[in-house]
């Protein structure tokens, strides 16, 4: 049976499954929040700049040194004022979860020991200070630890629980808020996320798809490491292979990674060089996650035979504003044929396999990527973010790479440069300013010279493709303009880049 590829377009596109964080500093401790005991399990109310965390076995806990965890808070707007113990604490363990949409309730975990067994539940503090149990059917926890978080839109509640439905010790679960305002029973996130050991401190990114969490059962640099994984469908059972968040993980223990799109920093807990048993730290970030929005999707349908079809969804958005875009695709298959897809779609009669797809939208710099259609998961949504062609916008050419210490392109770099040629050909009034950058390793003057040579190489390539040299200017800056820390390779590599600024559009 011959396979077909059909691409069908709707008018608008929506949110992301492909999103990322960029790190621009080394982690630093927040000394005003940390003590000589343990700080852990954090929640940052980004709207009100209030930081909540669990402080373990502190003499000022309600139960003193024997108290395994009270929730404390501190206000960023007061320049990290002295943390205070929350008034609902008692001698039992508590950890913050988050605030419901609108801020009516502050949710937190509560664990107690009774007749030789541990029990856990979720509590809700109202604005008037009163506290009540949050009703979650079939919530069972027999671990002395219970952690969790609430999604930014308040629809998903994540908990770490130990019970008979788990794969190991502490597993991660999700509860769903229904239309009646009631929470569902916890659903296990599946064996890709959960190991036979402990998974704790879950946090869902603003896209409602990417989960950050701590695990001591998936390998890593220390006892607990931070991992992240992307949800592949709405069952909440299928996830991408968890990736180690190397920028923050050490030989110590790292947990409780949180951030927001509006924040300049991400926050987490680490025992590395800690004054106690865990310190709160921060690291400078840029978040490219697109916030979850209602679905209006561009759909790609793969017909495997005449009676069976499944779909993959793409969404195009403006990289700066997140606005949904109209667009089109160009598919480059294994044959030399180039098949353009317009708003009405096209039937591509060939076997599926490795294809390169270019995503285009009027007024935007195109994006090109390869996909193996035979291995792609059906019913998965993919975000494509496009840079607007606007004066002052700086676009990094992430795939324009050079052999070490030279201005010679690594094979494949021309593909992204061809997108620049295409953009300048379609927009004949556009002028650009190329910027070459290196890291700070080696002689500073030689780095400037090398970066300038690389600017010349890019210029020569564009001119060879028919772009008038009067439309191109540029300069090499060496290591003078880093966008990330040069203290370690994981962030230093971000400084070795070529980018261009759009200096004229019309």
> What is the reported pLDDT for 219?
76
Helix-then-strand count for the chain, H and E: 3, 35
Q: Residue 275 class from Cβ within 10 Å (0-12 exposed, 13-18 middle, 19+ buried)?
A: middle
pTM, 2 dp: 0.56
Q: Which residues contact 365 (CB under 8 A, 6 or more apart)?
A: 386, 387, 388, 389, 395, 419, 420, 423
Domain ranges of the chain: 21-287, 311-388, 393-504
Of 154, 156, 229, 246, the C-alpha closest to 195 is: 229
CB 158 within 8 A of CB 172: yes
Share of the chain above pLDDT 70, in %: 82
Compute, in degrees rounded to 10, the torsion defined by CA atoms 371, 374, 379, 381. -10
Q: How many CA atoms lie within 13 A of 280 on its CB side?
A: 27
CA distance 453 to 397: 16
Residue 199 burial (CB count, 10 A): 29
| pLDDT value at 335 more than 90 | no
Average pLDDT, the chain: 82
Q: Which two tokens stand for residue 83?
A: 């943390």
CB 185 within 8 A of CB 197: no
- Angle in degrees, 0-180, between the axes of helices 444-464 and 413-426, rounded to the nearest 10: 60
> What is the reported pLDDT for 176?
93
Paired sense of beta strands 4-8 and 346-348, if any: antiparallel
The per-residue pLDDT for range 77-102, each reduced to its tens digit, is 766 778 999 999 999 999 999 998 77
CA distance 142 to 421: 61
Residue 236 burial (CB count, 10 A): 18
DSSP state of 103: S
Q: Which two tokens stand for residue 216?
A: 């001591």
Q: Residue 418 class from Cβ within 10 Å (0-12 exposed, 13-18 middle, 19+ buried)?
A: middle
State which fold the 311-388 domain adopts.
Immunoglobulin-like (2.60.40)
The per-residue pLDDT for range 31-82, each reduced to its tens digit, is 889 998 999 999 999 888 899 999 999 999 999 999 999 999 998 876 677 8
Query: What pLDDT band is residue 284 in, cutting at 50, 70 and 90?
Result: very high
CA distance 453 to 447: 10
CB 342 within 8 A of CB 328: yes
Least confident of 262-266, 361-365, 489-493: 489-493
Containing 168, the helix (H) or strand (E) segment is none
| pLDDT value at 346 more than 60 | no
Of 150, 154, 146, 152, the C-alpha closest to 171 is: 146
CB 214 within 8 A of CB 202: no
Domain 21-287, CATH 2.115.10.20 — does that match? yes
CB 7 within 8 A of CB 341: yes
CB 356 within 8 A of CB 367: no
DSSP string, 288-337: -PPPP-----EEEEEEEETTEEEEEEEEEEETTT--B---EEEEE-SSS-
Region of 437 on the Ramachandran plot (φ > 0 left; ψ -120 to 50 alpha; else beta): beta
Q: Which two tokens stand for residue 489?
A: 């390779």
Query: What pLDDT band is residue 315 in, cutting at 50, 70 and 90?
Result: confident
Q: Which CATH class is domain 393-504?
A: alpha beta
Q: Residue 263 class from Cβ within 10 Å (0-12 exposed, 13-18 middle, 19+ buried)?
A: middle
CB 150 within 8 A of CB 102: no
CB 328 within 8 A of CB 360: yes
The per-residue pLDDT for range 98-152, each reduced to its tens digit, is 998 777 899 999 999 998 999 999 999 988 889 999 999 989 999 999 999 999 9
Region of 147 on the Ramachandran plot (φ > 0 left; ψ -120 to 50 alpha; else beta): beta
CB 229 within 8 A of CB 222: no
Residue 8 burial (CB count, 10 A): 14
Containing 413, the helix (H) or strand (E) segment is helix 413-426
Region of 492 on the Ramachandran plot (φ > 0 left; ψ -120 to 50 alpha; else beta): alpha
CB 282 within 8 A of CB 266: yes
């Amino acid at each position: 049976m011959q396979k077909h590829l059909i691409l069908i377009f709707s008018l608008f596109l929506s949110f992301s499954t492909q999103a990322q964080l960029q790190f621009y500093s080394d982690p630093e401790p927040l000394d005003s929040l940390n003590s000589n005991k343990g700080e852990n399990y954090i929640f940052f109310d980004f709207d009100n700049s209030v930081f909540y965390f669990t402080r373990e076995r502190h003499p000022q806990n309600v139960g003193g040194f024997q108290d395994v965890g009270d929730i404390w808070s501190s206000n960023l707007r007061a320049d990290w004022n002295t943390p205070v113990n929350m008034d609902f604490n008692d001698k039992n363990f508590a950890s913050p979860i988050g605030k419901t949409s609108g801020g009516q309730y502050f949710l937190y975990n509560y664990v107690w020991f009774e007749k030789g067994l541990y029990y856990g539940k979720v509590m809700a503090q109202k604005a008037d200070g009163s506290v009540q149990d949050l009703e979650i059917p079939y919530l069972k926890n027999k671990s002395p630890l219970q952690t969790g978080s609430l999604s930014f839109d308040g629809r998903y509640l994540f908990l770490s629980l130990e019970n008979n439905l788990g794969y190991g010790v502490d597993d991660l679960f999700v509860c769903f808020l229904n239309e009646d305002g009631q929470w569902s029973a916890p659903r296990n996130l599946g064996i890709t996320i959960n190991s036979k050991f402990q998974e704790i401190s879950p946090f869902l990114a603003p896209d409602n798809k990417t989960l950050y969490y701590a695990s001591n059962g998936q390998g890593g640099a220390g006892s607990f490491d931070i991992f992240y994984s992307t949800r592949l469908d709405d069952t909440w059972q299928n996830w991408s292979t968890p990736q180690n968040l190397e920028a923050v993980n050490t030989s110590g223990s790292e947990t409780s990674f949180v951030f927001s799109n509006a924040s300049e920093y991400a926050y987490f807990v680490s025992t590395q060089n800690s004054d106690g048993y865990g310190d709160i730290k921060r690291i400078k970030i840029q978040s490219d996650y697109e916030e979850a929005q209602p679905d209006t999707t561009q759909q790609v349908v793969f017909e495997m035979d005449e009676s069976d079809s499944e779909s993959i969804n793409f969404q195009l958005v403006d990289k700066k504003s997140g606005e949904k875009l109209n667009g089109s695709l160009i598919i480059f298959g294994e044959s030399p044929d180039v098949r353009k897809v317009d708003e009405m779609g096209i039937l591509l009669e060939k076997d599926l396999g490795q294809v390169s797809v270019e995503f285009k939208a009027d007024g935007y710099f195109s994006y090109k990527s390869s996909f193996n259609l035979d291995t792609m998961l059906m019913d998965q949504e993919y975000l494509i973010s496009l840079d607007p062609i606007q004066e002052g916008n700086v676009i990094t050419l992430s795939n324009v790479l050079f052999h070490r210490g030279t201005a010679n392109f690594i094979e494949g770099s021309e593909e992204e440069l061809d997108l620049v040629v295409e953009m300048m050909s379609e927009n004949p009034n556009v002028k650009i300013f190329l910027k070459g950058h290196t890291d700070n390793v080696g002689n500073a003057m030689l780095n400037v010279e090398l970066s300038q040579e690389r600017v010349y190489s890019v210029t020569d390539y564009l001119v060879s493709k028919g772009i008038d040299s009067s439309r191109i200017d540029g300069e090499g800056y060496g290591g003078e303009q880093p966008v990330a820390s040069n203290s370690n390779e994981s962030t230093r590599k971000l400084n070795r880049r070529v980018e261009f600024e759009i200096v004229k559009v019309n």
